[in-house]
Copies of this chain bind each other. A is one copy, B any other.
Amino acid sequence: MQSVPLARQRQLTVVSQAPRVAGMRVMIADDHDLVREAIASFLQGEGVAEVVTVPNLQDAIRAADEGGSFDLVLLDYNMPGMNGLEGLALMIAANDQRPVAILSGTASRALAEQAIKAGAAGFVPKTMSSRSMVSAVRFMAAGEVYAPFNFMQQADTSSGNLSQRETDVLRGLSEGKSNKEIARDLDLQEVTIKLHVKTLSRKLNAKNRTHAAMIAREMNLI
């Protein structure tokens, strides 16, 4: 899997040109024992000084609070306490604004973009090999923002053809809201919501609102 650095709208503070693997402290937060063990052992094999592993966000935050900040924190997107990308902000704060990356099994471009927009140091899908993983970790610990190249090249067919409004409506749908509620939230008329539901359902190839919500969930659009 090829990788490419993303500059984006953020100041990149390069800690060192050739990152010192030696004294590096990395935390891996994932509820999957298997994944934790795997990443930890690979990183240790690469000479990373300290690898801390925790199974949930709560422990991750405590570890940073008590043991000091890490050069990089890898946060599983689906993990107790995360609640979507909410946990990311908490972790960044707990890690003294230092790099925190999102690790995810359910990979989608939309999610990667959201994560990076929300301040993540990068996005690491579990479909990556350990070799790629290790180099991604080095880059992120050095202050760069990373996302796998083929992710970002992912066809826009999935989410790109939904307009902003349609995405907003879709979010409401997936929360089980009625058209009226969504209209109130977005400060629009109910008919407008109906129109959006109709068009986004067509775009997603969904039979109705329920189907659209399920498809959106499946495609990680929301």
B176 touches A32 (CB 8 A): no
Q: Which residue of B lies closest to A178 (CB)?
A: B208
B176→A211 contact, CB < 8 A:
yes
A39 contacts chain B at the CB level, 8 A cutoff? yes
Q: Are A214 and B213 in contact (CB under 8 A)?
A: yes
Q: How many copies of this chain are found per oligomer? A: 2
CB-contact partner of A128 in B33, B39, B129, B177, under 8 A:
B33
Q: A105-B105, A129-B37 are in contact. Are A214 and B31 (CB under 8 A)?
A: no
A175 to B37 alpha-carbon distance, docked (Å)? 37
For residue A24, give the distance in angstroms from its CB to the closest CB of chain B.
19
A216 to chain B, nearest CB (A): 10
How close is A213's CB to chain B, nearest CB, in angstroms?
A: 5
Contact check, A35 vs B126: say whether CB atoms are below 8 A apart: yes
Instruction: Let me know if B126 and A32 touch, CB within 8 A.
Output: yes
What chain B residues lie within 8 Å of A31 (beta carbons)?
127
A34-B37 Cα distance, complex, nearest whole Å: 10
- A213-B213, A213-B214, A217-B217 are known contacts. Are A34 and B208 too (CB-CB below 8 A)? no
Query: Which residues of chain A in 200-222 are interfacial with respect to chain B, using CB atoms and an 8 Å cutoff?
Result: 206-215, 217
Q: Is B33 a contact partner of A129 (Cβ separation < 8 A)? A: yes
* B-chain residues with CB within 8 Å of residue A133 when the two chains form the complex: 34
A90 within 8 A of B: no
Confirm or deny: A78 has a beta carbon within 8 angstroms of a beta carbon on chain B.
Answer: yes
Q: Are A176 and B128 in contact (CB under 8 A)?
A: no
A130 within 8 A of B: yes
User: Can you name 26 A-B pairs with beta carbons within 8 Å?
Assistant: A31-B127, A32-B35, A32-B105, A33-B126, A33-B127, A33-B128, A33-B129, A34-B35, A34-B39, A34-B127, A34-B133, A35-B126, A37-B129, A105-B105, A173-B210, A174-B210, A174-B214, A175-B211, A175-B214, A176-B210, A176-B212, A178-B208, A213-B213, A213-B214, A214-B217, A217-B217
